[in-house]
């Protein structure tokens, strides 16, 4: 099969190195052209925030994985990076690795379903660049199938595994329909942006951003089509929102209990959800004592995250079963690539030999007798070929030993001198016998 690949990921290198070798779509296109010219007949490149991987079928019989690493680092020079920062994969291990990646069980966050879409895009770009042959196309289809089966047939991607998303799921349990609710996110940093994005994706009726630095609030609000609330006027605007997320880096409380109490008075007791996902906390935890106030901080949300991660980890054996199932199917198909032509060549050889012998007696016997001999010849050839053909197909379809089917195919072709020999000469040799 000769599939070979390399991977630098969250297991092998710190984020500084992963960022340094990350490839944009344009860079992948440029590197693909180089790989096509110098290393691979076909292949693909996957590059995300947590991994950069290059896989392909070498042009030469032997290719050291280090040569792929050298090509990557020549294209994208990085200091203080070593071969040990890369995993190397060959044949079966390469296929298994790709299946693990697509299913999400090799991700930093187990069950990450986003990687499936990224893998699909990587294969599609390879095909668009004419860098995909028959075997790689089949491998791509099977890899995507593994990812889809993992999502559909297991719970490996279910349950929130980030604090921001866990908070949104808690909100959904309190308010069944978020499309009728308004939300305010305080803090426009990474955590705040993630929370705001989740709320936006859930379709809240109104989304607003507040941040101490107004320009950052405006930038995030523009991205999510949200309103902006002045950080200095939070207290007087708090009552307008059903959901409050706070994720600032302030030293003390941004929202005191009396501010929440005043907001509840203006809301006439209408429920409000407070999600404090900041460290240290932004919202006075005493606010939970107020009626119709649903308060959660990062500790309570981390419990949810931990429980969901444990549930995902428990699903890994089920995903591994899917991977093994599809590996067997893929290699069964791959093994038949050698077997089908061998069967075709042997069958054609015997049928031509039978036709040649029949032609010698065609004018020497009656038409009825000729038809009987022709039928007998056909049945005899079928019986002679039945066992070797069945055995070859069995070897190919079980996929237990990648070399057996190819070895038996070669042996049969060698025994009958079918390795590219001239068929006329073969028939002449058979006449001499």
The 3-class secondary structure across the chain, one letter per residue, is: CCCEEEEEECCCCCHHHHHHCCCCHHHHHHHHHHHHHHCEEEEEEEECCCEEEEEEEECCCCCCHHHHHHHHHHHCCCCCCCHHHCEEEEHHHHHHHHHHHHHCCCCCCCCCCHHHHHHHHHHHHHHHCCCCCHHHHHHHHHHHHHHHHHHHHCCCCCCCCCHHHHHHHHHHHHCCCHHHCEEEEECCCHHHHHHHHHHHHCCCCEEEEECCCHHHHHHHHHHHCCEECCHHHHHHHHHHCCEEEECCCCCCCCECHHHHHHHHHHCCCCCEEEEECCCCCCECHHHHHCCCEEEEEHHHHHHHHHHHHHHHHHHHHHHHHHHHHHHHHHHHHHHHHHHHHHHHHHHHHHHHHHHHHHHHHCCCCCHHHHHHHHHHHHHHHHHHHHHHHHHHHHHHHHCCCHHHHHHHHHHHHHHCCCCCCCHHHHHHHHHHC
> Which of 98, 107, 111 has its CA nearest to residue 159?
111
Options 15, 33, 49, 324, the catalytic residue: 49
Q: Which two tokens stand for residue 131?
A: 């860098």
> Which of 102, 143, 146, 125 has its CA nearest to residue 3?
143
Q: Are 45 and 54 in contact (CB under 8 A)?
A: yes
- What is the distance between the alpha carbons of residues 124 and 101, in angstroms, rounded to a whole number? 16
Question: Is 49 among the residues known to form the active site?
Answer: yes
Q: Report the catalytic residues.
A: 49
């Amino acid at each position: 099969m000769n599939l070979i690949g390399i991977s630098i990921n969250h297991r092998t290198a710190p984020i500084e190195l992963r960022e340094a070798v990350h490839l944009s779509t344009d860079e992948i296109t440029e590197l693909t052209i180089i790989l096509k010219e110098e290393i691979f007949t076909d292949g693909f490149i996957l590059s995300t925030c947590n991994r950069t991987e290059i896989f392909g079928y070498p042009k030469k019989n032997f290719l050291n994985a280090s040569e792929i690493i050298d090509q990557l680092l020549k294209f994208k020079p990085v200091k203080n990076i070593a071969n040990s920062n890369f995993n190397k994969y060959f044949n079966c291990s390469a296929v298994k690795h790709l299946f693990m990646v697509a299913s999400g069980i090799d991700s930093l966050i187990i069950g990450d379903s986003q990687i499936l879409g990224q893998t699909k895009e990587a294969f599609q770009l390879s095909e668009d660049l004419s860098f995909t042959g028959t075997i790689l196309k089949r491998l791509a289809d099977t890899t995507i199938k593994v990812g889809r089966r993992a999502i559909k047939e297991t719970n490996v991607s279910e349950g929130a595994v980030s604090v921001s998303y866990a908070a949104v799921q808690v909100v959904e349990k309190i308010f069944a329909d978020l499309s009728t609710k308004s939300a305010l996110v305080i803090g426009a940093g990474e955590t705040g942006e993630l929370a705001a994005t989740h709320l936006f994706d859930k379709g809240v009726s109104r989304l607003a951003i507040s941040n101490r630095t107004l320009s950052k609030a405006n930038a995030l609000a523009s991205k999510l089509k949200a309103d902006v609330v002045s950080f200095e006027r939070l207290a007087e605007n708090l009552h307008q929102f059903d959901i409050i997320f706070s994720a600032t880096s302030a030293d003390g409380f941004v929202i005191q209990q009396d501010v929440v109490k005043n907001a509840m008075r203006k809301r006439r007791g209408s429920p409000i959800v407070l999600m404090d996902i900041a460290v240290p906390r932004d919202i006075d935890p005493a606010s939970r004592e107020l009626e119709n106030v649903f308060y959660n901080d990062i500790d309570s949300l981390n419990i949810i995250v931990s429980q969901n991660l444990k549930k995902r980890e428990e699903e890994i054996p089920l995903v591994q079963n899917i991977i093994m199932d599809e590996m067997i199917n893929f290699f069964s198909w791959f093994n038949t690539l050698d077997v089908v032509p061998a069967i075709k060549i042997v069958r054609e050889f015997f049928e031509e030999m039978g036709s040649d012998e029949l032609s010698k007696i065609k004018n020497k016997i009656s038409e009825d007798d000729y038809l009987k001999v022709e039928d007998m010849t056909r049945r005899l050839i079928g019986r002679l070929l039945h066992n070797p053909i069945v055995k070859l197909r069995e070897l190919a379809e079980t996929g237990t030993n990648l070399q057996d089917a190819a070895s038996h195919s070669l042996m049969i072709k060698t025994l009958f001198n079918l390795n590219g020999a001239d068929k006329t000469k073969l028939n002449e040799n058979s006449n001499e016998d």
